[in-house]
Amino acid sequence: MAIRKLLALLMFLAIPITAATSSFADSSPSRFIITGSGYGHGVGLSQIGAKGLALEGKSASDILGYYFPGTQISAAPITQSIRVNIAHQSTYQAITGSNLQLFRGDLTSPIPVPQGATLKFSMVGKTISPSISAKGSPTLVPASGSLFTVKWDGTIKIAGLTLKYGSVALRAVAGKMEVTTTMALDTEYIYGISEMSSAWPQAAIQSQAIASRTYGLAHIATIRKECDCNVYNSIYDQNYVGYSKESEVNFGVLWKAAVDATSGMNISYNGSPINVYFFSSSGGMTQRSEDVWGTAYPYLVSVADPYSLDLVLNPTYSHWQRVINQRDMSATFGLPDVASIAVDARTLTNSVLSLTATSSTGVKASLPVGTFKTKLKIPSSWFQINTN
């Protein structure tokens, strides 16, 4: 009898312990399944959409007029140069190429450079220390300075890029080296923009060339002190890759032809270049600028973008899935664990604006979708979240 009572007591005591453990485990899924469509912020020109419209016979003007309603294509000679940052906060750079010409300052004081030499620049304290080395000759070390400029014939290699046009400046800014290349905006800069496949229909890549030129025009009025530049060469602005874009085997000539064919063309609204944006693909509708960045523009509105959901046109991002484990999801929200995630708000196009995660103990944490996407490398804001 005593044994039976003891067993009953042990079973009774075990029930709440087991239930509590099971409840905790069940409330915190091991993974989250995120399914969605599109790639990028969704504002402005859909590049997959441009391809789709071009395949239907639309012109570059038709494409840009569709994705930027109310705008016009302006055409006039563009004579300005643009300064592009190709190495931000650098401490060392080497330049190789043919017939290098080195100047102290802004092309004012030449420093002799032997043929076949390599130029090297290092930050020493708050100034730049140059050196000139050539095979069979002693290394030359000119006096340090705050600015050096390099010109050349043919092409040079610097910061992982091959450059053909313009000049390169190396300037000391706040104890680091800002390396920029300056060239003609109208064609030379656009030759190096790598934002769309050069193998796509000509109308599509012409629309990209005009959009990229417009982006440059909208940014040449101001030199940013932190980079000594108008624009960066990265996704912070536009992806500038130098001579490798136009020299691409078989297809580089197509991109160069698109740039030349649209020389002087830009997208304008009320006579001024627009704030142009472009992205890969959407969830079926483009975004309004105010939903993504909080500022409304009359030409950055939502338009239908069915091409982005076409599996043939967009095989990678028409529909995608990401699996996020519990550890990464909880770290993203700064919680000990995540039991559930709720979408707080969506735009008119059904893209996510913000999310709130709840832990197994009821603690909540919220994030804007931009932070959520960046931390977990989610392709777009058009998604749903499910657990396993």
Range of the domain at 241: 45-80+188-309
Identify whether 11 is part of a domain.
no
Please check whether residues 122 and 244 belong to one and the same domain. no
Paired sense of beta strands 364-368 and 127-133, if any: unpaired
> What confidence category does residue 247 fall into, taking pLDDT thresholds of 50, 70 and 90?
very high
Please check whether residues 215 and 157 belong to one and the same domain. no
Q: How many domains does the structure of the chain reveal?
A: 3
Q: What is the pLDDT of residue 214?
A: 98
Backbone angles phi, psi at 371, to 5 degrees: -65, -45
Please check whether residues 153 and 214 belong to one and the same domain. no
Kindly state the DSSP code that residue 280 receives in the 8-state scheme.
Answer: S
> What confidence category does residue 18 fall into, taking pLDDT thresholds of 50, 70 and 90?
very low
C-alpha torsion angle, residues 31, 37, 41, 43 (rounded to 10): -160
Identify whether 21 is part of a domain.
no
Q: What is the pLDDT of residue 235?
A: 81
Q: What is the pLDDT of residue 26?
A: 53
Burial of 255: CB neighbours in 10 Å, binned 0-12, 13-18, 19+: buried
Q: What is the pLDDT of residue 20?
A: 35
State yes or no: pLDDT of 156 exceeds 50: yes
Is residue 91 within 8 A of residue 176, CB to CB? The reply is yes
State yes or no: pLDDT of 289 exceeds 70: yes
CA pair distance 324, 302, nearest whole angstrom: 30
Nearest to 305 by CA among 62, 46, 51, 68: 46
Is residue 291 within 8 A of residue 58, CB to CB? The reply is no
168-198 confidence digits (pLDDT tens): 999 999 999 999 999 999 999 999 999 999 9
Type of residue numbered 95: I
Identify whether 19 is part of a domain.
no
Please check whether residues 229 and 266 belong to one and the same domain. yes
Please check whether residues 59 and 203 belong to one and the same domain. yes
Please check whether residues 333 and 292 belong to one and the same domain. no
Tokens read off for 337: 């664990």
Identify whether 363 is part of a domain.
yes
CA pair distance 202, 189, nearest whole angstrom: 19
Please check whether residues 33 and 100 belong to one and the same domain. no
Nearest to 34 by CA among 341, 249, 350, 354: 341
Domain boundary among 264, 281, 309: 309
Q: What is the pLDDT of residue 98?
A: 87
Q: What is the pLDDT of residue 108?
A: 82
State yes or no: pLDDT of 369 exceeds 60: yes
State yes or no: pLDDT of 284 exceeds 50: yes
Please check whether residues 74 and 203 belong to one and the same domain. yes
CA pair distance 100, 112, nearest whole angstrom: 9
Q: What is the pLDDT of residue 388?
A: 67
Mean pLDDT of 205-230: 97
Which SS3 state, helix, strand or coil, does residue 160 take?
coil
Is residue 333 within 8 A of residue 365, CB to CB? The reply is yes
- What does pTM read for this prediction? 0.90
Domain boundary among 309, 330, 349: 309
If you compute the radius of gyration of the chain from its CA atoms, what whole number of angstroms results? 28
Domain boundary among 129, 164, 184: 184
Is residue 51 within 8 A of residue 205, CB to CB? The reply is no
Please check whether residues 281 and 349 belong to one and the same domain. no
For the residues of 94-138, what is the DSSP string, one character each? EEEEEEEEEEETTTTEEE---TT-EEEEEEETTEEEEEEE-TTSP
Q: If you average pLDDT over every residue of the chain, what do you get?
A: 93
Q: What is the pLDDT of residue 326?
A: 97
Nearest to 211 by CA among 266, 138, 130: 266
State yes or no: pLDDT of 9 exceeds 80: no
> What confidence category does residue 107 fall into, taking pLDDT thresholds of 50, 70 and 90?
confident
